[in-house]
Amino acid sequence: MRYRSCIAVVVSLAVGFGSCGALAQLAAFAKTEIGIDFAAPWPDAVAIELDLGAEYSLDDWTFGVELFVVDGGMRDLAFVTTGRLGALNVYSMYGVWDASGWFTWSDFDNAVWADMLGAEMWALFSIEADSWFALVGSGAGLALGGHGAAGDVEIWGEATFNLQPVLPLVYWNGLEPILDGNLACDWIQVLDPVCELDFSFANVFVDFPWCCADVGTWISFSCLGFEGFSAWAEGIAIGETGLSIERVEVSFEEESKDFYLWFGIDIGEVVCVSPFVSLIQDAEFTIDGIALDALELVCAVGDVSVTVSELFAPLGLVPFDFCYIGIDGAIHTLSWFDLDWTLPAECVEPMFDAEEAIAIEVRRDGCCGESFFGLYSFFDIDLNESLFSWLGARARAESSISSSVSLFLEAWIWSDGIESLAFGVEITWGELRNLTGDWDCCFGIL
C-alpha cells in the first residue's frame, strides 16, 4: 500500500462517455500524484506518478487497460477482460510489472466460475514468467474449488496445484471481490513445485449453527502433510445484558496451538470494550493461563466516534497470530493463513511500532455526500525521547462538494519532525466495472 512520508498533491480524474447504444459504454480515468519527501535530498525528494485506465463495456463483456507511470517511466501495464459464456463467468488479466528499462515480470491470470445445482464452482489458472517473452511455458498454477450447502451446513473446498490458496480469501469475502482486487493486490500467485503431481494445498471450511452460536471450522493439508486446523464460534450470548463473546477461536498447527477470545461489552449502546485474549503455553504445550494481548474501547455518540487502543503483546510475539494497531488507530488481528498466504508485502498497511492510539472520527451527511474528519495519535511506550512517548499523528479530512467532485486533505507529523501533507481532488463520471484506479485495496478487503 502506498503511504509515504512526503508532501503529496493528488489529482484524480475519471471520465465516462455516453454509450453509442443502450448496452455499450466507454469509461476512463486518470490519476496523478506528486509527492515531496523532506527526508530525501533534492531533486530525488520529488516523485510523480500517473495512473491511466480505460475500458469498454458491451452487454455482459468489459475490456479494460490500465497503465501506471512513475517519474516518467512505464512501470505497470495490465489488460483485464470479464464477461459471460452461457452459464460461465469469465475473468482474464494479463499484466507486466516492475519495469527497469523494460518489463521484467509477467502474469497471466484466468478464472471461470458458475452456479450449478445450487453450488458455486470455480477454476483458477495462472502463468508467471520473468519476462513477457518467456510467458508461455513458464511456471503455472491451477486451483479447483467450490461452495455449497446441505441444509444449515455450508461447505467450502479447494485444491491447488502450484498455486497459492485463494480459498481463505474467498471464504471471508466471496470470489468476485477477490477477482476485482486481483489487479492491484495480486491474490492469484504461482508457487514453486515441491511435490509429485504438483499438488500444493487442500483447504476446507465448514460452517454450521450449534446451540446459541454460529460455528466455523477450517482444515488444511499440503503435499507434505497436515498444515493447520481452526475452529471458532461467533455471537455467543452469555446471559448478561450488554456482555457477549464476539468470537472464540482455537487454532492448531503441527507444533503449536493458539487460543483467542474476543469479548464485547456494550453499555447503553454508546461504549463498547473488546479485549483480545490468547493462551499462555510452555514448550510442552501445557496451558499456564491466559494473556490479554490488546484492549479496544469504542464510544460513538451521534456523528462522533472515539477509539482508544492498547496493545500489550509485542508485535510478532506469536509467529502467525497477532494484534497490531493500524493507521486508523484501531486494533487489527491477522490469523496465520491471512498473513502467510494472502498478504503480499506491498499490500499490507504499515505496521507501526505504536502500542497505544487514540482516534477521533466525525462523519456527517451533506447535500452532496458524506463529509469526514479523522484525527489519530499514536504512542510507543519504549520511546523516551518525546513527551508521553508520543510517536506521531495523522489527520485526514474528506468532503464531497458535488455529486462528482470530492476533496481530501491529509497530514502526518512524527516525533522526529518528519512531516507529510497530501491534497487531493477527485472528479468522477460514468461507471468503471473492472478498473478502479485504487491500488490501496489489498488490506481493506480482508
Q: Which of 263-267, 339-343, 349-353, 394-398 shows the highest mean pLDDT?
A: 394-398
**Beta carbons of 445 and 169 less than 8 angstroms apart:** yes
Confidence of residue 134 (pLDDT cuts 50, 70, 90): low
What is the rounded average pLDDT of the residues 390-408? 85
| pLDDT mean over 338-344 | 44
As a whole number of angstroms, the distance between CA 111 and CA 174 comes to: 14
More confident residue, 333 or 15: 333
Q: pTM for the whole thing?
A: 0.72
pLDDT value, residue 342: 43
Ordered DSSP codes for 150-197: ETTEEEEEEEEESB---HHHHHHH-HHHHHHTHHHH----B----SGG
Q: Which of 80-94, 218-232, 261-275 has the lowest mean pLDDT?
A: 261-275
Helix (H) or strand (E) holding 342: helix 336-342
Burial 162-179 (b: 16+ CB within 10 A, else e): bbbbbbbbbbebebeebb
User: Would you place residue 344 in the very low, low, confident or very high pLDDT band (cuts 50, 70, 90)?
Assistant: very low
Please say if the pLDDT value at position 255 is more than 80.
no
392 pLDDT exceeds 50?
yes
- CATH of region 7-427, choose from 1.10.10, 3.55.40, 1.10.287, 2.40.170: 2.40.170
Indicate the range of 76-80, 208-212, 278-282, 316-320 predicted with least confidence. 316-320
pLDDT score of 406? 81
pLDDT over 60 at 284, yes or no = no
Q: Report yes or no: 183 and 438 within 8 Å, Cβ to Cβ.
A: no
Q: pLDDT digit string (tens) for 149-197?
A: 888 888 999 988 888 888 888 888 889 888 988 887 788 888 776 554 4
pLDDT of residue 384: 66
Confidence class for position 98, pLDDT limits 50, 70, 90: low
Ranked by mean pLDDT, which of 14-23, 345-354, 418-427 comes out on top?
A: 418-427
CA distance 332 to 348: 12
Mean residue pLDDT across the chain: 75
DSSP letter, residue 240: S
Q: pLDDT band at residue 210, thresholds of 50, 70 and 90?
A: confident
pLDDT tops 90 at residue 122: yes
